[in-house]
Amino acid sequence: MPLNPLNIIAALRSRAPTDALPSVAEVLALLRAQDAQRDALYAASDKARHDQVGDDVHLRGIIEFSNYCDNDCAYCGIRRHNQELTRYRMPIEEIVEQAARARTWGCPTVVLQSGEDAWFTVERLADLIRRVRATGIEAVTLSVGVRSLDALRQLKAAGCDRYLLRFETSNRTLFARIHPDESFAQRIQFLKDVRSVGIQVGSGFMIGLPGPLTTLARDILFATSLDLDMIGCGPFLAVPKTPLAGAEPLQDREIYLKAIAILRLLNPQANIPATTAFDALMPDGRDRVLQVGANVFMPNVTPAKYRRMYQLYPNKPCVDEEGAACAICVRGRLARLGRPAGRGPGHSLRHIQGA
């Protein structure tokens, strides 16, 4: 007998964190839900978000401070192999100034992201974090790839609150094919190291990588098994002139949103961002994600002169905007959705409760 999505949704709504995870078949049934059943999924995930983490949307200004990358991921627009790309590295002073501006534009916290850029040694990153925190920024998320355990300790001491490193896909064979410079095990060990030094852990995957839908169902379950503070997932968008060029997006575009809705039901207390790539996939993409379970928005506050050089994928939004524009635009988006901007650092409930 086919699984009924409405029964699965009802079971997930009353699921305790210690209960067994749903089966792959059950997650697949939710990913395939249509019409009224899909609407029921969205209503349940939006309610779970409202009940557990409230209506606030935490604004984290993202500064993409370097597009140098030692890695050659098959999916990525700033991969080492892309020799047509002009590389840039923001001076530390400029990053700090931009973080200070982001605060005046209404972002209490920032995300500092780059390719795997060895110029940014742990000492330089620690100095950067200290100076950013000294501007009054209330929390710093770092997203700069895998570093050593000792480096993590130094970054924590400097004031790093959160670290974002996606596992990209839980399918080990696919991972090895698309992320050749690091092993899957290394990435997962790194996430454990992040937790062990007391930094909040963010991870996630790309939705719609080439392969069967079963992989997506397994990715959702794997992300849940990591018990994350933050789950950052976004659509995979094929980049011309990369090994994955020409890969088609999922035909049912709603699957991208259903994935977020299922993640919210399974992880009611996590911070879940409406990631930028959703706007590249569909009109009002990020607004829709905020309506199916997300509670974080990351306005791009990278100075305009660098943005075109940090195109991880085609159609990346706001590449011609100045820093303030995205921070202002998000206010209008939130007002239309009837959602307030969060105040303070917006730590995960898991972190606040000392789990």
Which residues bind to ligand SAM, rule: CB under 6 A? 75-76, 78, 113, 115-116, 143-145, 165-166, 168, 206, 234, 236-237, 239, 277, 312-313
User: What DSSP string describes 113-139?
Assistant: EESS-TTS-HHHHHHHHHHHHHTT--E
Q: Does 85 bind ligand FES (CB under 6 A)?
A: no
Q: Does 164 bind ligand FES (CB under 6 A)?
A: no
Provide the pairing of β-strand 200-203 with 109-114.
unpaired
Q: Which does 165 bind (CB under 5 to 8 A by kind): ligand SAM, ligand FES, none?
A: ligand SAM
In the complex, minimum distance from the CB of residue 319 to ligand FES, in angstroms, rounded to a whole number:
18
* Selected range binding ligand FES among 16-24, 51-59, 69-77, 227-235, rule: CB under 6 A: 69-77
Would you say 41 or 95 has its CB closer to ligand SAM? 95
Would you say 13 or 89 has its CB closer to ligand FES? 89
How many C-beta atoms lie closer than 10 Å to residue 2's C-beta?
7
Determine the Cα–Cα distance for residues 80 and 175; give it in Å rounded to an integer. Answer: 17
Determine the Cα–Cα distance for residues 248 and 238; give it in Å rounded to an integer. Answer: 7
Determine the Cα–Cα distance for residues 174 and 74; give it in Å rounded to an integer. Answer: 11
Q: Does 112 bind ligand FES (CB under 6 A)?
A: no
Residue 114 zone, left/alpha/beta (φ > 0; ψ -120 to 50; rest):
beta
Would you say 79 or 264 has its CB closer to ligand FES? 79
Here's the x/- map for ligand FES, 254-293, by CB under 6 A: it reads as ----------------------------------------
Q: Does 191 bind ligand FES (CB under 6 A)?
A: no
Please list every residue from 296 through 355 that binds ligand FES, using CB under 6 A: none
Q: Which residue in 27, 28, 31 sits closest to 12, CA to CA?
A: 27
Q: Which residue in 189, 225, 178, 179 sits closest to 204, CA to CA?
A: 225
User: What DSSP string describes 32-78?
Assistant: T--HHHHHHHHHHHHHHHHHHH-S-BEEEEEEEEE---S---TT-TT
Could you tell me if 323 and 102 are in contact, meaning their C-beta atoms sit under 8 angstroms apart?
yes
Determine the Cα–Cα distance for residues 340 and 351; give it in Å rounded to an integer. Answer: 22
Q: Does 73 bind ligand FES (CB under 6 A)?
A: yes
Q: Does 71 bind ligand FES (CB under 6 A)?
A: yes
Q: Does 234 bind ligand FES (CB under 6 A)?
A: no
Determine the Cα–Cα distance for residues 201 and 348; give it in Å rounded to an integer. Answer: 10
Query: In the block, which residue shows the tokens 């901007």?
Result: 341
> How many residues touch ligand FES (CB under 6 A)?
9
Could you tell me if 22 and 8 are in contact, meaning their C-beta atoms sit under 8 angstroms apart?
yes
Query: In the block, which residue shows the tokens 């002009």?
Result: 86
Determine the Cα–Cα distance for residues 229 and 199; give it in Å rounded to an integer. Answer: 10
Would you say 8 or 191 has its CB closer to ligand SAM? 191
In the complex, minimum distance from the CB of residue 314 to ligand SAM, in angstroms, rounded to a whole number:
8
Would you say 26 or 219 has its CB closer to ligand SAM? 219
Q: Does 145 bind ligand FES (CB under 6 A)?
A: yes
Q: Which does 79 bind (CB under 5 to 8 A by kind): ligand SAM, ligand FES, none?
A: ligand FES
Would you say 106 or 210 has its CB closer to ligand FES? 210
Would you say 159 or 243 has its CB closer to ligand SAM? 243
Would you say 46 or 72 has its CB closer to ligand FES? 72
Q: Does 37 bind ligand FES (CB under 6 A)?
A: no
Handedness of CA 207, 213, 216, 220 (dihedral sign): positive
Would you say 113 or 267 has its CB closer to ligand FES? 113
Query: In the block, which residue shows the tokens 């590295």?
Result: 89
Residues contributing to the site for ligand FES (CB under 6 A): 69, 71, 73, 76, 78-79, 115-116, 145
